[in-house]
Amino acid sequence: MLNSPAIAPGFDEPIALLTACHDKVRRFASLSLKLDEHLSRRGQDEEAAQAAANILRYFDMAAPLHHADEEDDLFPALRELDDPALNADLARIEAEHASLDVLWQAVRPWLQAIADHGVPLRPAELAAFARDYPAHAAREEALLYPAARQLSPTTLARIGQNMRARRGATA
């Protein structure tokens, strides 16, 4: 029997779309460790270069859009709920975004060198990168995304429209 491909959520489901993005974060963070193992076992090859290019593409293009979706649209909407505990969680999560960017900037040159068929030294931050990005996504899903159920349909629609516009997607 043929399996139909999973259909990704659309901009009309912004929280589901953000969660789907987290699935990619987990996949590509894990791939960075697999890439390191691959290089240790098999050395530099086209498979390694392609894996590095895929990780670069995701974290250079999609991840910044994802963070903008949250910081520019979702988080301000959640702050409007005026929940002190939620606001404290939002502050911690936003600070994590900055820390994650520092990790990305440390890992990125390694990936770029691999994508360019080089054999660079593994950055000391690789394990933290592969651990912290998925852990951050899990915290957002546990602490913030459930609160989005309290947002009005109009607010969620606006968030989705802004996400669409940020990507230059048409209706």
Where along the chain do its domains lie?
14-166
Over the chain (171 residues), what is each successive 10-residue block's mean pLDDT? Answer: 63 97 97 98 97 98 96 98 98 97 98 96 98 98 98 98 92 57
> pLDDT, tens digit, for every residue of 48-66?
999 999 999 999 999 999 9
Instruction: Quickly name the fold that domain 14-166 has.
Output: Four Helix Bundle (Hemerythrin (Met), subunit A) (1.20.120)
Residue 140 — left, alpha, or beta (φ > 0 → left; ψ -120 to 50 → alpha)?
alpha
Q: For residue 31, what are its two tokens? A: 């791939």
Name the helix (H) or strand (E) containing 154. Answer: helix 153-166
Question: Which amino acid is located at 155 in the chain?
Answer: T
* pTM score above 0.75: yes
End-to-end Cα spacing for the chain: 33
User: How many CA atoms, within 13 angstroms, populate the side-chain half-sphere of residue 2?
Assistant: 2
Q: Give CA angle at 27 (142, 115), nearest 5°.
A: 140
